[in-house]
Amino acid sequence: MKTMKFILAFFILAGVAVSAQAEINIIPRPVSVVPGNGTYTLTEKTAIVSGEATQSEAAYLAGILAKAFGEKPHIKAKGKGIELKLNATLKDSLGDEGYLLKVEPKRIVIEGATRTGVFYGIQSLRQLLPPAFEFHPEKGKNAAVPVVAIADKPRFAWRGFMLDVSRHFKGVDVVKSMLDQMALMKMNVFHWHLTDDQGWRIEIKKYPKLTSVGGYRKDTQAARHSDKREGKPHSGFYTQEQIKDIIAYATARHIRIVPEIEMPGHASAAIAAYPWLGVLGTTKEVPVRFGKLPDSFNIADPRVIQFLEDVLTEVFNLFPGKVVHIGGDEVMYDAWKKSKAMQALMKKEGLTSPADLQIWFTNRISQFVDSTGHRMMGWNEILGDNVHEWQDSADTQVKQTLAKSAIIEFWKGSLDLINKAVSNGYDVVNAYHRMTYLDYNYKMIRLSKAYSFNPIPEGLDPKYDSKILGFGCQMWSEWIPTTKSMDLKVFPRLAAYAEVGWTPLPDKNYQRFLDALHNMEQRWQLDGIDYHKGEE
């Protein structure tokens, strides 16, 4: 009620009559849109008015307008134009990421309690402009911006997109392009899946073979359930300097990066580089086939624990964010059950099942992560639940309890497991595979199905709503070798997920979303981004 009173007061002060929402084609749909009469004319002479606190956002907007006019607009401290303002009083009503956007015939004002709010107001302004505006620089051009008052804030604080670059390396430019699209649609977490069985993609100075050996495979499985190979090597990794560049690029777009370093499973590329890391002693090269593989880190060896802490230390020194993802999914326990070292460790620690051993290990990593001022995140197998049909139920009889500081990314199993996790005190990011896996085809996850996703599962006690931090949508790349094949799976579903994370549930409207999507599709076409057409 306090928020609505504030918004109504804002509209009155803006001199805009409160009426039905106009067809304002912004994705994700803003919380409140009140149309006015007339337009603001944006020209190459339009200035950006900004104080010191919003200079980086002013520079970002100037770069956007330079794409249209061929030269950057003037940024000044006072006057009229596009005014960027910090307003701390907005925090109570709109939070850290909310904003007010007021377009009048003589000026545009964007306000937020923080720089992030101002940045998101800029993204909404961009979408009020004609789709082609940014793509054809031309002296003397102008654009009409409709008079409108928008008050907006996100539904969830965690609005994530995951890109797997381990199975098929994507390079720097592709990552930056995805960050641009995330920013345009107000998504704020880039989950970067950097290591897996088929490739290690992050430079670790202390262990150079992770990339010189682990970043290269001699061939690649060509299709599911097939022995056919592509017949060519695949390689690539990000240097630490490239990672710093990408981090800076993301930070300028108010996106935080969560790196994923898989452990204890999905470790074959690292083991190929340093065979002493593994349990089996048989992993000699980076695997060329996909799927669940038998080897994992030998967590009974103190040298391996030290290796993982060394890797995480370099990761912490690179990434400014406080969350690190350690994977933890699909560990194949057969190798552990046959390993004398693993069995001896279980006996020493009083552990009765392989899942208990994994929780014991995960807690040890969590203690290290916590001690550095960071927070550990993992797929929901780290809780010890049996979520796989191929897993022996006896292997997941657990007595250990996962550290409460862990963030759980739920991807598989009964939705009741989310209720169990939040009632036990864990924060959850909902990434349920049947609703959010972008590598699935459009018959499995139609655009309308993606749009219908609700990160808060049906039946969850409302007192636990705050434990659902938000959602993630995942682009796994085993069978997605090219940028074009990736884009066709990501777009337009990424736009649907953006609205899932931002727009209040009662305000979602699929037909209205489709109407707004036409403008976004024009932008993608002009930007050279391939996108899927139709529901299937």
What residues act catalytically? 196, 266, 330
Answer whether 167's CB lies under 8 Å from 99's CB: no
Q: What is the CA radius of gyration of the chain?
A: 25
Helix (H, G, I), strand (E, B) or coil at 382: helix
Q: What are phi and psi for residue 368, nearest 5 degrees? A: -65, -45
Instruction: Burial-class residue 138 by CB neighbours within 10 Å (0-12, 13-18, 19+).
Output: exposed
Backbone angle region of 108, left / alpha / beta, with phi > 0 → left and psi within -120 to 50 → alpha? beta
C-alpha torsion 250→255→260→261, nearest 10 = 50
Which position has the token pair 């005190």? 425
Structure tokens at 325: 């993802």
Give CA–CA dist 314/266, Å, rounded. Answer: 20
Angle at 168 between CA 165 and CA 174, to 5 degrees: 60
- Within 10 angstroms of residue 1's Cβ, the number of other Cβ atoms is 5
Q: At what angle do helices 340-349 and 354-371 cross, to 10 degrees?
A: 70
Judge residue 248's burial from the number of C-beta atoms within 10 Å of its C-beta, 0-12 exposed, 13-18 middle, 19 or more buried: exposed
Cα 179 to the center of its chain, rounded Å: 9
Q: Report the alpha-carbon distance of residue 256 to residue 58 in Å, rounded.
A: 20
DSSP symbol at 402 = -
Question: How far apart are the C-alpha atoms of 163 and 6, rounded to whole Å?
Answer: 39
3-state secondary structure of 400: coil
> 226 CB contacts (<8 Å, ≥6 apart)?
none
Alpha-carbon distance 100 to 90, whole Å?
9
Residue 425, amino acid: G
530, 56 Cβ separation under 8 angstroms:
no
Angle between helices 493-502 and 483-490 (to 10 degrees): 50
**3-state secondary structure at position 396:** helix
C-alpha torsion 111→117→118→122, nearest 10: -110
Which one-letter DSSP state was computed for residue 106? Answer: S
- As a whole number of angstroms, the distance between CA 190 and CA 257 comes to 5
